[in-house]
C-alpha cells in the first residue's frame, strides 16, 4: 500500500478549495436563474421553491439573445478562422525560416500584445466611421483579428521552434516545397497549439464588450455581451432574467472547453519536458 503523504493531502485540499471558489458562483447563478426577483432577495442561497423557465424564455425573446448569439458566433468564427490561418503562417515564418528580420518581426507582434484596446478605440472608431465600417460585423472582425494575432503568433512560434530539425531537413531532401512542409508536416504537429490559441481567441472575442458596444448601435447587429447589458437599467434591474441570460451566454464557452479540454491540457504542457 502507498504511504500516507501529508503534503499530497494538503495539495488535494487546496485544489478542492480552489474548485469550490471557482464553481460556487456558477452554481449560484444557475440556481437563482430559476427564481423570481422576490425569492432572490428573500432567500438568495436557498433552492427555488417553484422553478420556472419563464426567465430563460423572456431573456431569449425580449432580450433578443437569439440574434445576438448568432452575431457573436459569426464574428468569433470568422475571427478564429483568420487568426488561425494568418497567425500560424506568420509563426511558421518566424519560428522555422531563417531570414534577417525574423526577430524584429516577432518584436513587432509582441508590441501588439502590450497595447490596450482603450488606447486605440477612438482612432479606430474615427477611421472606421470614414469608411462606413461602424455598425457592421466586419467592423468588429478587423479589430478582433488584430488583437488576436499577436497571442496566436507568440504561442504558435514556440511550437514550431520546438520541432526537430531532422523532420524539416528530411522533407527538403525528398523535394517537398515550403508549402508542403507547412501544411503536411509542421501544422499537424502543432495542432495542440492551435487548440490552445483557438480557445483563447474564441473566449476572448465571445466575451468582448467594449468594442462591440462602441462600434455597434443597431439592435439586430449587437453581440451577446452587449445584449446582456440591456438587463441592467439605471433605475431597475431584473436579476432573475439577467442571471438566466448569463447562463445562456456562458453555455457555448463551457461546451467548447469540455469538447477540447484534453487537447488544451496537452497544448499547455507541450514542451515542458525535453529530451
Burial class from Cβ neighbours inside 10 Å (0-12, 13-18, 19+) for residue 135 reads middle
Distance of CA 96 to the CA centre of its chain: 27
Q: What does pLDDT average to over the chain?
A: 85
Mean pLDDT, residues 6-18: 88
How confident is the model over 133-153, as a mean pLDDT? 91
What percentage of the chain carries pLDDT values higher than 90?
A: 21
* SS3 at position 182: helix
Which residue has cell 427564481?
Answer: 35
62 lies in a domain?
Answer: yes
- 1 is a domain residue: no
How many structural domains compose the chain? 1
- Expressed as residue numbers, the domain containing 113 is 24-269
What per-residue confidence (pLDDT) applies to 82? Answer: 95
- Cβ atoms of 216 and 140 within 8 Å: the answer is yes
Residue 43, pLDDT score: 84
Encode pLDDT of 240-256 as tens digits.
888 888 898 888 888 88
- 16 domain residue, yes or no: no
Assess if residue 30 is contained within a domain: yes
Quote the pLDDT of residue 3. 61
CA distance 37 to 55: 10
How many residues does this entry show for the chain?
Answer: 275
Per-residue model confidence (pLDDT) at position 274: 43
CATH code, domain carrying 175 = 1.10.3720.10
Q: Answer yes or no: pTM beyond 0.85.
A: no
Give CA–CA dist 128/123, Å, rounded. 8
Kindly report, residue by residue over 41-51, the tens digit of the pLDDT. 888 888 888 88
Q: What integer pLDDT is reported at residue 7 of this predicted model?
A: 82
Q: Is the pLDDT of residue 63 over 90?
A: no
Express each pLDDT in 172-227 by its tens digit. 888 888 888 888 888 888 888 888 888 889 989 999 988 999 898 888 899 999 98
**Rounded to whole angstroms, how far apart are CA atoms 151 and 199?**
12
**Rounded distance, CA 103 to CA 244, Å?**
48
Q: What angle do CA 242, 246, 252 make, to 5 degrees?
A: 155
Kindly state whether residue 2 falls inside one of the protein's structural domains. no
Is 197 among the domain residues? yes
Single out the residue of 84, 88, 263 nearest to residue 185, CA to CA.
88
Residue 207 lies in a domain: yes
- Over residues 130-135, the mean pLDDT reads 88
Does residue 126 lie within any of the structural domains?
Answer: yes
Amino acid at each position: 500500500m502507498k504511504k500516507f503523504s501529508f503534503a499530497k493531502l494538503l495539495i488535494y485540499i487546496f485544489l478542492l478549495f480552489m474548485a469550490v471558489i471557482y464553481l460556487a458562483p456558477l452554481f449560484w447563478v444557475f440556481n437563482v436563474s430559476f427564481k423570481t426577483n422576490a425569492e432572490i432577495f428573500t432567500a438568495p442561497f436557498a433552492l427555488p421553491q417553484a422553478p420556472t423557465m419563464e426567465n430563460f424564455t423572456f431573456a431569449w425573446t425580449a432580450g433578443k439573445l437569439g440574434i445576438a448569439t448568432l452575431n457573436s458566433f459569426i464574428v468569433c468564427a470568422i475571427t478564429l478562422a483568420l487568426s488561425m490561418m494568418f497567425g500560424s503562417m506568420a509563426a511558421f515564418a518566424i519560428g522555422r525560416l531563417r531570414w534577417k528580420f525574423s526577430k524584429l518581426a516577432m518584436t513587432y507582434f509582441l508590441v501588439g500584445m502590450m497595447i490596450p484596446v482603450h488606447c486605440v478605440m477612438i482612432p479606430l472608431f474615427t477611421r472606421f466611421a470614414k469608411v462606413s465600417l461602424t455598425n457592421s460585423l466586419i467592423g468588429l472582425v478587423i479589430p478582433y483579428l488584430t488583437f488576436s494575432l499577436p497571442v496566436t503568433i507568440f504561442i504558435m512560434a514556440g511550437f514550431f521552434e520546438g520541432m526537430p530539425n531532422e523532420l524539416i531537413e528530411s522533407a527538403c531532401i525528398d523535394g517537398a516545397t515550403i508549402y508542403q512542409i507547412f501544411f503536411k508536416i509542421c501544422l499537424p504537429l502543432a495542432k495542440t497549439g492551435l487548440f490552445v490559441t483557438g480557445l483563447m481567441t474564441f473566449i476572448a472575442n465571445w466575451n468582448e464588450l467594449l468594442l462591440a458596444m462602441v462600434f455597434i448601435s443597431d439592435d439586430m447587429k449587437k453581440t451577446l455581451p452587449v445584449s446582456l447589458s440591456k438587463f441592467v437599467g439605471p433605475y431597475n434591474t431584473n436579476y432573475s432574467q439577467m442571471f438566466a441570460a448569463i447562463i445562456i451566454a456562458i453555455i457555448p464557452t463551457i461546451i467548447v472547453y469540455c469538447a477540447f479540454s484534453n487537447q488544451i491540457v496537452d497544448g499547455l504542457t507541450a514542451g515542458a519536458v525535453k529530451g
